[in-house]
């Protein structure tokens, strides 16, 4: 019986379903603190290594690393960057406007304040919220003092209106890293740089507290805070794309990866051992999920919209007293309100702008012949 590998598989996969599942898990994780039930209890189960929301984010990045690296190998650098821009920025800008003109005013009114003052108070206002965050780096997390007393406001000592969008800056940094490697043909000629980068990112998380002198270098390479951890899992996914002809889709390996992931989550060392195992497990599930699941979100990808809109929806529901109905009701109502917003984001923003992928740099690239050395197309669930 011949062994199957990651390469050679087409679009018949469950990336869409997996992304949607992970987006819902982020909602579950945020529901605990935002609804007033304290910290996500799954963090205690892992000895504060991760909670279910951060684990879902790691899964997102493992898939993203695999998919966008595959894209970068199939297209030119400008085309790749154009496609990534279309996938991330327009929907992100839309949710910024949504936060400023919908969430902010509704929360302002819920606090019994004068509607006009919301727009006229200058410091930390809605216009600044959109303008200062336009570049994807978050300079202004909140509007005025709205939600300052929420758990995320207490932790950060500043108002927070959408606590999910912080990770996009790190993801875009990683996209640019892949673009630079692709532009200099390093994804083909010296692909070992990518797994080396993953190991370096993991090592930097262990060194940051022990060797303070390395902190500025680590920040430049991987970003501040959680940057090295996010980079590590993303680069493990990218490594799977670069070495796909050597990565087997083996159920026995998946079982080992699952066991090691669970054991390291429960006992420790998930960062050192579990990240690689978890990345493999996520990719294996995407290609070995039941066939019926592969139809979920295969044509209409709502996961990005769910990720963008759920957090402000949860804050608004809390402002209007929905958590008093209990955790299950709060969770169900959050999903019920978020899904239409995600559908609107897909139908009105994401899908229309993705139709522009063959314009601009995309159109130019389409007219150019592919290099002879480029490998055969590999599976893609995002725009490639």
Query: What pLDDT is recorded for position 374?
Result: 35
Query: What pLDDT is recorded for position 1?
Result: 47
Query: What pLDDT is recorded for position 9?
Result: 63
Query: What pLDDT is recorded for position 2?
Result: 58
How many degrees, rounded to 5, is the angle at CA 284 between CA 279 and CA 288? 160
Question: Over the chain (384 residues), what is each successive 10-residue block's mean pLDDT?
Answer: 69 90 97 94 94 97 96 92 96 98 96 92 90 95 92 84 95 97 94 96 89 89 94 97 94 96 95 96 94 87 96 96 97 97 97 89 51 36 36
Sign of CA dihedral 109, 110, 113, 118: negative
* Contact predicate 305/9, CB 8 Å: no
Locus of tokens 């229309």: 352
Domain ranges of the chain: 15-366
Query: What pLDDT is recorded for position 362?
Result: 63
User: What does pTM read for this prediction?
Assistant: 0.91
């Amino acid at each position: 019986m011949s062994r199957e590998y990651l390469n050679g598989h087409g679009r018949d996969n469950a990336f869409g379903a997996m992304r949607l599942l992970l987006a819902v898990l982020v909602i579950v994780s945020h529901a605990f603190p935002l609804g007033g039930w304290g910290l996500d209890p799954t963090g205690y189960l892992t000895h504060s290594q991760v909670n279910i929301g951060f684990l879902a984010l790691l899964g997102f990045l493992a898939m993203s690393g695999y998919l966008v690296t595959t894209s970068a190998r199939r297209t030119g650098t400008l085309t790749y960057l154009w496609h990534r821009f279309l996938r991330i920025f327009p929907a992100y800008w839309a949710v910024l406007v949504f936060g400023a003109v919908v969430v902010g005013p509704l929360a302002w009114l819920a606090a019994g304040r004068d509607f006009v003052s919301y727009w006229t108070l200058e410091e930390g206002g809605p216009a600044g919220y959109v303008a200062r965050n336009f570049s994807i780096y978050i300079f202004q997390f909140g509007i005025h003092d709205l939600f300052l007393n929420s758990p995320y406001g207490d932790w950060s000592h500043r108002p927070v209106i959408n606590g999910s969008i912080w990770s996009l800056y790190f993801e875009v940094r990683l996209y640019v890293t892949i673009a630079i490697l692709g532009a200099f043909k390093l994804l083909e000629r010296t692909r070992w740089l990518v797994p080396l980068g993953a190991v370096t990112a993991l090592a930097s998380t262990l060194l940051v507290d022990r060797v303070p002198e390395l902190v500025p270098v680590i920040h430049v390479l991987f970003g501040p805070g959680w940057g090295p951890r996010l980079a590590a899992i993303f680069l493990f996914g990218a490594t799977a794309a670069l070495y796909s002809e050597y990565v087997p889709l083996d159920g026995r390996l998946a079982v080992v990866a699952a066991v090691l992931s669970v054991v390291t989550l429960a006992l420790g060392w998930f960062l050192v051992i579990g990240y690689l195992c978890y990345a493999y497990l996520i990719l294996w599930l995407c290609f070995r999920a039941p066939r019926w699941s592969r139809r979920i979100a295969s044509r209409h990808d709502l996961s990005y919209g769910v990720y963008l809109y759920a957090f402000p929806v949860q804050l608004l529901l809390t402002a209007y007293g929905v958590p008093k109905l209990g955790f299950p009701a709060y969770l169900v109502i959050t999903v019920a309100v978020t899904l239409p917003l995600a559908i609107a984001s897909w139908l009105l923003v994401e899908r229309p702008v993705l139709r522009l992928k063959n314009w601009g740099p995309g159109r130019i690239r389409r007219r150019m012949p592919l290099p002879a050395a480029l490998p055969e197309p590999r599976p893609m669930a995002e725009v490639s």
